[in-house]
C-alpha cells in the first residue's frame, strides 16, 4: 500500500471533527456575547427591551411572580413568549426606534443651516446628498446595536 508523501499530508489536513466545530462556534458565540456585555450593546439596556419590559410589568405582583408554583406553572408559556419578545425587541423594535434619532443626527451633521454663503451651499450640495444615506445608515446601525445617549 502506497502512502502519500509528507508534503501532501500537510497540504490536506483531515477535516475537523463535529465536536471541534461545535466548540469553535460556542467559543465564538461566547466571545461575541462577552464583548456585547463589555461594550454596552443596546439589548443589554433595560430601556431598549420595550416589549420584554412590558411583559415584566404585566406579570409583576401577580400570583405567577410571587410564588414558586406560579413560576413553575407559567414556565412552559413564559419561556417561549419571553424568547420571542426578546428577539422582537432586538431585531424589530430597537432598530425601528433608532430611525428618528439617526435622522435627527444626519440632519444636524449635514443639512442644518450654518450661515454659509449661497456659493458654498451650492458647492457642497452634491457631496451632502451623497453622504446623507451613508451617514444615516451608519448612525442608525450604531444606535441599533449600541447604547447612545442612554437610549
Q: Using one digit for the tens of pLDDT, what is the confidence trace for 16-30?
A: 667 777 788 888 877
**Is pLDDT above 50 for 150?**
no
Domain locations in the chain as residue ranges: 98-151
CA-nearest of 63, 44, 53, 76 to 147 is 44
Predicted TM-score (pTM) of the model is 0.65
* Bigger pLDDT: 40 vs 126: 126
Amino acid at each position: 500500500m502506497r502512502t502519500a508523501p509528507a508534503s501532501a499530508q500537510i497540504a490536506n489536513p483531515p477535516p475537523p471533527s463535529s465536536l471541534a466545530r461545535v466548540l469553535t462556534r460556542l467559543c465564538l458565540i461566547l466571545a461575541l456575547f462577552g464583548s456585547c456585555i463589555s461594550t454596552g450593546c443596546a439589548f443589554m439596556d433595560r430601556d431598549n427591551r420595550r416589549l420584554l419590559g412590558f411583559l415584566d410589568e404585566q406579570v409583576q405582583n401577580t400570583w405567577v411572580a410571587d410564588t414558586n408554583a406560579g413560576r413553575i406553572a407559567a414556565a412552559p408559556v413564559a419561556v417561549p413568549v419571553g424568547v420571542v419578545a426578546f428577539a422582537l425587541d432586538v431585531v424589530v423594535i430597537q432598530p425601528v426606534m433608532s430611525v428618528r434619532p439617526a435622522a435627527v443626527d444626519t440632519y444636524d451633521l449635514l443639512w442644518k443651516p450654518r450661515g454659509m454663503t449661497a456659493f458654498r451651499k451650492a458647492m457642497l450640495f452634491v457631496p451632502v446628498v451623497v453622504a446623507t444615506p451613508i451617514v444615516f445608515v451608519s448612525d442608525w446601525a450604531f444606535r441599533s446595536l449600541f447604547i447612545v445617549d442612554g437610549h
